[in-house]
Amino acid sequence: MQATKSFEQAFLKQMLLGIQLSAVSHGSGSLQERKSAIKLSADVAMAVARGSKKWTRGLIASLSKEEQNRSFLQFVLGKEFERPAKICHSSWKIPRSKNIVRRSLRFLSKRKSNIRAPNSSVLAGTLVEKRTQVLKRLVPGGQSMDAFSLLDETLDYAACLRAQVDVMQKLMTTLEASKHSDAQRPKEKFHLLPMVGSWYSTRKGLRKRLSKRPKLTL
């Protein structure tokens, strides 16, 4: 996925709507409740802004397992939420890709372990499998994914998480800054999301782009 400006904007808007919905801004409820509400808004917003992916469906599914989230999800997702979650049992679909990925991953490990004892490549395979299981637990909906989908969904999920963090951070910064500034100042349009272009650029390009980011003007 290309974590574009439009994703960030959609995410921000959706999250703020969600926060308003859960009345966090009114300051009611305990600190823990408010924090959970914001996290819930952020996660739902991320899934909604991204659209239909295996991990977004997995995320909504796991969120809806908790009783206290249901009314919020119902309200935000409406009809979408009532539809029974289609869990993807598609591991039979591309049986070959699983083995191909395993071979490729083992090949990667073998290249490094060439100098070492012949046993180590077998061990490397087990370690890869163990860590794949860990990754499956971390990526929403990962348990029912074949190896190829897992890699693909991981990429997408990680990029969205990164954007989620960035937007929340920017929101924090903006709100904190305005707290310290003069409240009488005329309300300007805050350019919260100046980033454009693809995130899957080269590391150099990304660094260059980040350094060019205009500072927030208040």
Partner 1 sequence: MSSRRSRVSEEEINELISKLQSLLPEARRRGGGRASAAKLLKETCNYIRSLNREVDDLSGRLSALMATMDNNSAEAEIIRSLLRS
Q: How far is the CB of 84 from partner 1 (least distance, A)?
A: 27
> What is the Cβ-side half-sphere exposure of residue 51, based on CA atoms within 13 angstroms?
6
Determine if 83 is a binding residue for partner 1 (CB under 8 A): no
End-to-end CA distance of the chain: 32
Residues 25-64 that bind partner 1 (CB under 8 A): 25, 27, 31, 34-39, 42-43
> What is the Cβ-side half-sphere exposure of residue 84, based on CA atoms within 13 angstroms?
3
Would you say 65 and 141 are in contact if contact means Cβ atoms under 8 Å apart? no
13 membership: H or E segment, kind and range: helix 5-21
Reduce the DSSP state of residue 142 to 3 states and report it: helix
Q: Which of 5, 64, 144, 152 binds partner 1 (CB under 8 A)?
A: 152
Phi/psi-derived region of residue 197, left when phi > 0, alpha when psi is between -120 and 50, beta in every other case: left
At a CB cut-off of 8 Å and minimum separation 6, what does 117 contact?
A: none
Determine if 89 is a binding residue for partner 1 (CB under 8 A): no
Q: How far is the CB of 101 from partner 1 (least distance, A)?
A: 6
Determine if 1 is a binding residue for partner 1 (CB under 8 A): no
Q: Which of 2, 6, 71, 181 binds partner 1 (CB under 8 A)?
A: 181
Q: Which residue is it, tokens 């991990």?
A: 55
Determine if 162 is a binding residue for partner 1 (CB under 8 A): yes
Q: Which of 7, 8, 11, 19 binds partner 1 (CB under 8 A)?
A: 19
Q: How far is the CB of 83 from partner 1 (least distance, A)?
A: 27
Residues 109-148 that bind partner 1 (CB under 8 A): 109, 111-113, 124, 127-128, 131-132, 134-135, 138-139, 148
Measured over the CA atoms of residue 200, residue 204, residue 205 and residue 209, the dihedral's sign is positive
Determine if 204 is a binding residue for partner 1 (CB under 8 A): no
Determine if 187 is a binding residue for partner 1 (CB under 8 A): yes
Determine if 96 is a binding residue for partner 1 (CB under 8 A): yes
Q: Which is nearer to partner 1, 27 or 84 (CB)?
A: 27
